[in-house]
Amino acid sequence: MRHLLVPGAGGQAWDWHRLVPLLDDAVAVELPAGDDRAGLRAYADAVTAAAGPDPGPVVVVGHSMGGLTAPLVCERLDVRRLVLLNAMIPAPGESGAQWWEGSGHSSVDIGEFDEVQHFYHDLPPDLRAEALARPDARQSETPFTEPWPLTAWPEVPTEVVAGAEDRLFPVSFQRRLARERLGLGVTVVPGGHMAALSRPQELAAALQRR
């Protein structure tokens, strides 16, 4: 079954490049993150287009901010499983900007944000250097200003996957959010916020466990 891998803020398919070869059929999506005209519906359009013509049943994996986009794809494709990886879990009508307060994340002590410490702390040194050498990915504020458009969570089997070493969205926070918003538990895998880069083998095993 094809896996559609939806990146977080910045919309870069590169974030999945170590995971893609480990899955039987995977497509890393590039989102129009730098386009101020593109909102969440346009992001869902990009995921649908990346799936290709007649993709059949798919698994959609949304990482971080990709949690705002991934559920929207369920209106467009035959999604058999929705996976939220260290992801924002939105509530109907809540904008991405409102999510930080509404989710309770604003009360979570993560210290002062640092790109290396919160995103890349568990990457091998050479890969961390490569990630930091890449051009900065621009993320438009447009999708953060829109109310999340669905009136309810899609009726699709959903799994919440959390990196055990995630410093941006700690496991304890993800457990509470998943329980409160979806009534779900959490599958914990090795790795930090960018687990697809730091621990791709373990993440691939978790995604293919079913």
Q: What is the pLDDT of residues 70-88, one digit of tens each?
A: 999 999 999 999 999 999 9
Residue type, 103: S
Q: Any residues with CB less than 8 A from the CB of 134 and at least 6 apart, and which?
A: 12, 14
Helix (H) or strand (E) holding 119, with range, is none
Portion of the chain with pLDDT greater than 70, in percent: 100
Q: Residue 94: pLDDT band by 50, 70, 90 thresholds?
A: very high
Q: Residue 209: pLDDT band by 50, 70, 90 thresholds?
A: confident
Give the 3-state secondary structure of residue 9.
coil
What residue numbers bound the domain in which 18 lies? 2-207
Question: Could you give the number of structural domains in the chain?
Answer: 1
pLDDT of 210 > 70? The answer is no
Pairing relationship of beta strands 158-163 and 26-28 according to DSSP bridges? unpaired
d(CA 133, CA 18): 17
Tokens of residue 113, six digits:
């944000």
CATH code (residue 174): 3.40.50.1820
Q: What is the pLDDT of residues 138-164, one digit of tens each?
A: 999 999 999 999 999 999 999 999 999
Burial of residue 87 (CB within 10 Å: 0-12, 13-18, 19+) is: buried
Contact 192, 171 (CB under 8 A): no
pLDDT of residue 148: 98
Tokens of residue 49, six digits:
């287009």
- Measured CA to CA in angstroms, residue 105 lies from 62, 74, 140, 148, 172 at distances of 18, 26, 21, 17, 11
